[in-house]
């Protein structure tokens, strides 16, 4: 075989190898987004803590007010909290609809400009309406725009018919902006902005390594150029009954190299899992999220230490609940002054904690010393319809 024939054979072999590696199906890469996951986790924790039940609303006579549409109002308050958690600011309309705030301007603590997006959704339709209000010289300029998500191939008249009739949207001129602005915290930032983005990046990288560790640490099998041995090894990989491989004794006698070699990588999962657990615990801490004893690893803790695990979360929730009480009270004073609302108690607030302490009192050791249920007349509600 001359040099030209050797070059042709070499190129032909390389083409075959390249074709085999190119045609081999690649594993779909898993894309991790820990920020999105923590957003869902923290959001649900906040909603279930603050808005698991309807707030207690009292009038000036200290009578408890009852609303006919509690369910819809509570769901809208939960939706309001979801926008506050993710966007840092949201708007509650005078009919209890919730708007996602796109832009706003406050002048001397008065809302003078507001641009919000309203969502109208069902299994068949999905529309958004963008409303824009501008207060100038005691006059409110109002305009709106219907946005279709292009899944619904409907005419403009059909869309307006659905919006105005089915969803009961009624645009009208107003003398004041019909929204109350709610701010998550003093600086209008989402909760997870308290956590540096580097923590989420590090967690995503470690999760990516963990997902690949089972493939990297799996045995690497090397065999000689014998095609039959490769095929037999592949068969035995999935079926234990095919693990018996008969070797040619003559080849084995004169071949100094092993026909099969096995290399086993060291798994990194134990170290990665510890690092991931620690990162998750730190993200929960910096984001004032609810934690449990598993976030502390394998450390043995006393009952007093266990009670302190969520102290930051509980303080944070108490502050939020206190702010929501004042914001909601301002909303009712602005749009429902006829109800003469004096006080609002939301789950988790300071007033709510004092109320719970009166119902159930414990000593320093956690022993219940007052197990008497509240009187029935204390929890009765007076019906006042809007």
pTM of the model: 0.76
Which comes out higher in pLDDT, residue 202 or 187? 202
Residue 324 phi/psi, 5-degree rounding, is -65, -35
Cα(24)–Cα(132) distance, integer angstroms: 55
For residue 58, how many other CB atoms are within 10 A of its CB?
Answer: 16
State the total domains in the chain: 1
Spell 93-116 as b/e; 16+ CB within 10 A means b: beebbbbbbeebeeeeeebebbbb
Pairing of strands 65-66, 139-148: unpaired
Q: Which is nearest to 359 in space by CA: 379, 345, 344?
A: 379
Backbone torsions φ then ψ of 117, nearest 5 degrees: -120, 125
Question: What's the rounded mean pLDDT across residues 53-70?
Answer: 93
Establish if 136 belongs to a structural domain. Answer: yes
- Residue 376's DSSP bridge partners are none
**pLDDT for res 368:** 60
Q: How far is 230 from 247, CA to CA, in rounded Å?
A: 12
Q: What percent of the chain has pLDDT over 90?
A: 50
Task: Say if residue 216's pLDDT is above 90.
Answer: no
Q: In whole angstroms, what separates CA 239 from the centre of its chain?
A: 42
Residue 79 in domain: no
179-183 and 220-223 strand pairing: unpaired
Largest distance between two CA atoms of the chain: 109
Q: What is the pLDDT of residues 238-249, one digit of tens each?
A: 776 766 666 665
Helix H or strand E encompassing 14: helix 3-23
- Tell me the per-residue pLDDT of 327-384, one tens digit each, with 9 for 90 and over: 999 999 999 999 999 999 999 999 999 988 887 765 545 556 555 555 444 444 444 4
Tokens representing 358 are 């009166």
Strands 382-383 and 368-370: unpaired
In this structure, the chain runs to a length of: 386
Place 19 in a pLDDT band, splitting at 50, 70 and 90. low
Instruction: For 159-200, write each residue's pLDDT tens digit.
Output: 888 888 888 888 888 999 999 999 998 888 999 999 999 999
State the alpha helices, DSSP H only, in 188-335.
197-216, 227-238, 249-254, 269-286, 303-307, 311-335
Mean of the pLDDT values across residues 209-227?
77
Considering the chain, what is the average pLDDT of its residues?
82
Does the residue 127 lie in any domain?
Answer: yes
Residue 58 has pLDDT above 50, yes or no: yes
**pLDDT of 11:** 55
pLDDT band at 307 (very low <50, low <70, confident <90, very high): low
Handedness of CA 236, 240, 243, 244 (dihedral sign): negative
Which pLDDT value is given to residue 378? 47
Helix 197-216 to helix 269-286 angle, to the nearest 10 degrees?
Answer: 160
Burial of 316 (0-12, 13-18, 19+ CB in 10 A): buried
Q: Which residues contact 94 (CB under 8 A, 6 or more apart)?
A: 178, 179, 180, 334, 335
**Residue 13 resides in a domain:** no
Residue 9 within any structural domain of the chain? no
Please give the residue range of the domain that contains residue 177.
89-183
Indicate whether 358 belongs to any domain.
no
Write out the DSSP string of 131-173: EEEEEETTEEEEEEEEEE-SSS---HHHHHHIIIIIS------
**368 assigned to some structural domain:** no
Q: Report the alpha-carbon distance of residue 170 to residue 166 in Å, rounded.
A: 11
pLDDT number for residue 166: 84
């Amino acid at each position: 075989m001359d040099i030209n024939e050797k070059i042709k054979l070499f190129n032909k072999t390389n083409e075959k190898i390249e074709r085999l590696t190119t045609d081999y199906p690649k594993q779909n890469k898993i894309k991790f987004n820990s920020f999105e996951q923590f957003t869902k986790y923290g959001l649900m924790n906040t909603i279930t803590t603050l808005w698991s039940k309807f707030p207690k609303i009292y009038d000036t006579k200290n009578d408890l007010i009852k609303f006919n549409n509690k369910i819809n109002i509570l769901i809208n308050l939960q939706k309001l909290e979801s926008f506050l958690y993710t966007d840092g600011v949201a708007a509650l309309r005078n009919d209890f609809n919730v708007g996602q705030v796109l832009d706003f301007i406050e002048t001397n603590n008065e809302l003078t400009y507001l641009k919000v997006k309203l969502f109208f959704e069902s299994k068949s339709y999905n529309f958004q309406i963008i409303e824009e209000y501008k207060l100038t010289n005691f006059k409110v300029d109002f305009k709106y725009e219907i946005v279709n998500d292009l899944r619904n191939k409907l005419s403009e008249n059909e869309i307006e018919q659905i919006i105005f009739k089915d969803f009961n949207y009624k645009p009208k001129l107003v003398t004041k902006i019909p929204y109350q602005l709610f701010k998550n915290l003093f600086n209008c930032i989402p909760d997870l902005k308290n956590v540096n983005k580097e923590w989420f990046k590090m967690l995503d990288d470690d999760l990516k390594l963990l997902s690949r560790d089972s493939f990297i640490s799996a045995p690497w099998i090397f065999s000689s150029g014998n095609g039959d041995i490769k095929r037999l090894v592949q068969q035995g990989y999935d079926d234990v009954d095919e693990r018996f491989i008969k070797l040619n004794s003559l080849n084995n006698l004169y071949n100094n190299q092993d026909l099969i070699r096995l290399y086993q990588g060291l798994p990194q999962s134990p170290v990665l899992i510890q690092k991931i657990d620690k990162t998750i615990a730190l993200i929960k801490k910096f984001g004032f999220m609810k934690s449990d004893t598993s976030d502390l690893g394998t450390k043995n803790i006393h009952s007093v230490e266990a009670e302190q695990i969520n102290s930051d979360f509980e303080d944070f929730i108490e502050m939020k609940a206190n702010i929501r009480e004042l914001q909601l009270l301002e909303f009712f004073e602005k749009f429902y002054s006829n109800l003469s609302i004096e006080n609002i108690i939301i789950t988790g607030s300071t007033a709510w904690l004092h109320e719970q302490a009166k119902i159930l009192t414990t000593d320093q050791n956690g022993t219940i010393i007052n197990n008497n249920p509240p009187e029935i007349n204390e929890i009765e509600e007076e019906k006042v319809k809007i």
